[in-house]
Structure 1
């Protein structure tokens, strides 16, 4: 009975996956027939050709075997590409959905009609795929003379996002029943925020699962790499090729987990980068970046030329009290150390951006409420608010008042304000407030809506910060542990190789057939291990940046710290094992 139930469940799962795949083909921008003709048929032909080549080429089996695998990879990529494309489009629709609905609510509270709301949002390139969907709704109404509720209902059946589809369907039903867009959106605000929070928290839960899987896989690959280093002393096999193969697999697995975390992380950027309005903090970050990268390049040249003997000047020349040669790991980490300068500068600037985000909801609520009570302009209200303490946002509020008081055009003054703040959330919600005020919206209602939405976003971001903190602890810990394991194995083999014992005991036992240290090239294996710990430090720092949503340069700080942890642990491990075994 249980076997029949399992088979039925398996058949149902396979059927659902096939239907989902066919659905992705139907929702492609390219016609299905055209995709089959230009993509699928060539991929099948390539698969057949690679299969034939695997039989007819006069090459060893180890070389012929991967050839049809290449053809299979191309064929599977062609089969599942529409599914991947649909998944990416769904993610793009969900990423900015709550911001789009908040913007729509703000516009709906103004004096413009409901179609103008959709036309305005359709022109907002910031919303990406969401703007395209709204543009399609506008085209159905303006070009094909459909009613708005019919257009929404038709697009609800076409969009890949369940969240957007449900929103379009309920909005169509509500407006068809005669309810105003303004009343509906104000009523649904709490529900929309809850749905967004559910999706956001689900992404964070998926990251937690991915972290556990990552820990398990990295520990497994660490043991595999240690065995690849140690076992050849007993088997007599070539260790360099074995270690290189395990390292490639190790790097491949880490890269796969990085890509998975990037796809699972919720879209919630911290920084805003306007190209036309540079700020002082941006200039400071740029200068520190060029300084760090330039000094790294100089030290890299010194390190490489010193190692290979092209230059009499080595890294030890610049380190007082240290005689050359340095331990090999330091030749890798010292040149990249200057990258900590832009990483540190960026980290401090990012903390100020996040601090401004925390103060912005109270500022925008106070601004909207005071404007409504005094029935005055933003400039008049800011003359009072500029004296309030908004933490790191205080100077930006003061600068906004000065620009408005100098009769600078309000739109430009607010855009300079958001450019100085460098915050994605502040820029997005300030644009909403400005647009709502220009179109006659109630400032108190606008301030309350924006404050509520931003507070919820900050609460979710706090959960994300906690997830990134636990990830940082995990990555730093596993970096130290894996490096310790790598170099324990290497130093044990190195000590055995240097013992110089007469392995012929004279008792009829040729120990040289059991323990074979001569197969090792210790410096080469140490170099390979340093390559893997540096690559691991790079991918780990990229994972941290991906999960916390911060600036790209923030990667440098964690990269340098992880690299130094690996180098210090490697050097200490070799010294410790060598000391204990030498004493023994």
Structure 2
């Protein structure tokens, strides 16, 4: 919402007639989700309704409280004859205050939800352990037990991750590449990784021993996720570094352009005396395009796309659209600088919440995985002892039935995979972005898998030695 008001405010400074003020909104990708009311306003005006009347009619049917209130207030301001830029400037200040307050409350809620999430996942580990041990001792149907564990834990933890995501609100840092124009690349990598790591679970339902150890699938899935996930993480860091320098760049450029009468080529040459960190390379490329005589709008558009930053791309669009329409360069530059600084401040607050949740889940996941590995070793050893006893005993147990050790290991491995996926989703939800999902999946898969299999192998060897090779 503050970005919408910023765009309208900057565009209104050009002196464009108020009847033309809302026309660019439906064409912008950033406002695609809220463009429908503005399309309705334009349609009503096209058939003869006044702008104030059209805004009032659309506001009455708009479901969102924030947008509904804005349209209603805008209609009243137009009816009263108030200058649109004055109304939008007041509205922008109010929107920033409200957005800042909402963001602060959201970060507090995230911490509380994270505390609840860690408590729930810890309890689910021990509930799962008890269920599987009952399956081992009494020969219960492990498929039914496994379905119960997977479905209940996935629904509970998944709903909590969804609650975290809804509370945190999406945070688009990087311009995400989409495969086929539909599926975001990080999401596709995470999906492939999940399929690879979950492949051994198929053997539970076929009740056959897998030809390859689950360790192979852990290494393959974790390695695949980290291989493709690390570039996403590095890109996010690079984009954030450029975002940090953007306010300085836009302030220096607009100030120089104001002094030089709006000449972009000379202004870029002057500001390149300043070091803008990783943004300097992109500024040099834009200057080279300007010198080649390429249209300035195209140069700015390519600059925004090359940055890979949603923040830079949007604010660059605001600058180009408003100044091209005649808005004062210096005034627009100050609005953009203020907006970017506000978003960077809120981003740092989110990073504090991310660090808090990461501090909870990063050590907790391998610790719980080690617990699963420990119980797996005890359960498989117990199953082998029961199997050997029933083969040699004159009076075998009629109550306790041995479950194949391979099936026991796969059941606990399935629990590990579910928790790995849920923890990865929770961390991505806190960050409010899909970009780090493959990285977290790789990190949790490798750390959890290492803790699980190392603990299991070490304890099985220790028990076997203690029992004199009985197992």
Instruction: Please give the TM-score of this superposition, normalised by the length of structure 2.
Output: 0.84
Give the SS at the match of 1:111: coil
| Residue 38 of structure 2 is aligned to residue 134 of structure 1 | yes
* Alpha-carbon distance in structure 2 between the residues aligned to 1:493 and 1:559: 27
- Partner Cα distance (2:462, 2:249) in 1: 63
Question: Does the CA contact (< 8 Å) of 1:358 and 1:458 recur in 2?
Answer: yes
- State the secondary structure of the residue aligned to 1:268: coil
C-alpha change, 1:367 and 1:251, in structure 2 (3 Å) is: same
SS of alignment partner, residue 118 of structure 1 = coil
Q: What's the CA shift string for 1:251-306, capped at 9, x where partnerless?
A: 3323333333343331321122589xxxxxxxxx99xx99xx89x98xx99xx9xx
Q: Which residues of 2 match residues 108-123 of structure 1 at below 5 A? A: 108-123=12-27
Alignment of 1:160 onto 2:63 = yes
Q: How far off its partner does 1:378 sit?
A: 1.5
The residue that corresponds to 1:318 in the other structure is none
- Residue 23 of structure 2: SS of its match in structure 1? helix
The 1:344/1:455 distance shift into structure 2, 3 A limit, reads same
Deviation at 1:180, TM superposition (A): 0.3
1:548 pairs with 2:434: no
Residue 299 of structure 2 aligns with which residue? 413
Alpha-carbon distance in 1 for matches of 2:48, 2:364? 60
Alignment of 1:562 onto 2:447: no
What is the match of residue 76 of structure 2? Answer: 173
Q: C-alpha separation between the residues in 2 aligned to 1:533 and 1:486? A: 8
- Equivalent position of 1:466 in the other structure: 352
**Of 400, 411, 433, the match for 1:528:** 411
Mapped pair 1:363 → 2:255 = no
The answer to whether the Cα contact below 8 Å between 1:232 and 1:519 also exists between their aligned partners in 2 is no
2:126 and 2:18 map into 1 onto residues whose CA distance is 63
Superposition map of 1:261-300 within 5 A: 261-272=164-175
State the Cα distance separating 1:423 from its structure 2 match.
0.5
1:378 counterpart residue number: 264
Contact 1:125–1:131 at 8 Å: present in 2 too? no
Q: Which of 334, 346, 368 is the equivalent residue of 2:219?
A: 334
Question: What is the distance in 2 between the residues matched to 1:377 and 1:168?
Answer: 37
Residue 104 of structure 1 corresponds to which residue in structure 2?
8
1:391 counterpart residue number: 277
For the residue of structure 2 that corresponds to 1:269, the secondary structure is coil
Distance verdict in 2 for CA 1:258–1:462, change over 3 Å: same
SS at 2:61 equivalent: coil
Q: How many residues align?
A: 442
Residue of structure 2 equivalent to 1:349:
235
CA contact (8 A) 2:290 2:296 kept: yes
Give the superposed CA RMSD: 3.1
| Distance in structure 2 (CA, Å) of the matches to 1:348 and 1:274 | 15
Partner in structure 1 of residue 121 of structure 2: 218
Task: Report how far residue 139 of structure 1 moved.
Answer: 2.6
Unaligned runs of 5+ in 1: 1-96, 276-284, 315-327
Encode CA deviations 1:177-205: one digit per residue, 9 max, x unaligned.
22201112223322111112233334434
- Mark the CA change 1:129 to 1:551 in structure 2 (over 3 Å): closer, same or farther: closer
Q: CA shift at 1:225, angstroms? A: 0.5
**Which residue does the alignment assign to 2:104?**
201
Which has the higher relative contact order, 1 or 2, with Cα contacts under 8 A spaced 6 or more apart?
2
Aligned to 1:247: 150
| Cα displacement string for residues 138-174 of structure 1 (whole angstroms, at most 9, x for unaligned residues) | 233332423x333323333222222222222332333
Q: How far apart are the structure 2 equivalents of 1:196 and 1:572?
A: 48
Whether contact under 8 Å (1:228, 1:239) holds in the other structure is: no
Q: Is the 8 A contact 1:239 1:519 kept in 2?
A: no
CA deviation profile, 1:401-428 (whole Å, cap 9, x unmatched) = 1111211001111111111101011010
Residues 10-40 of structure 1: CA distance to partner in whole angstroms, max 9, x if unpaired?
xxxxxxxxxxxxxxxxxxxxxxxxxxxxxxx
Q: Distance in 2 between matches of 1:431 and 1:502?
A: 76
Structure with max Cα Rg: 1
Deviation for aligned residue 1:512: 4.7
SS in 2 for 1:128: helix
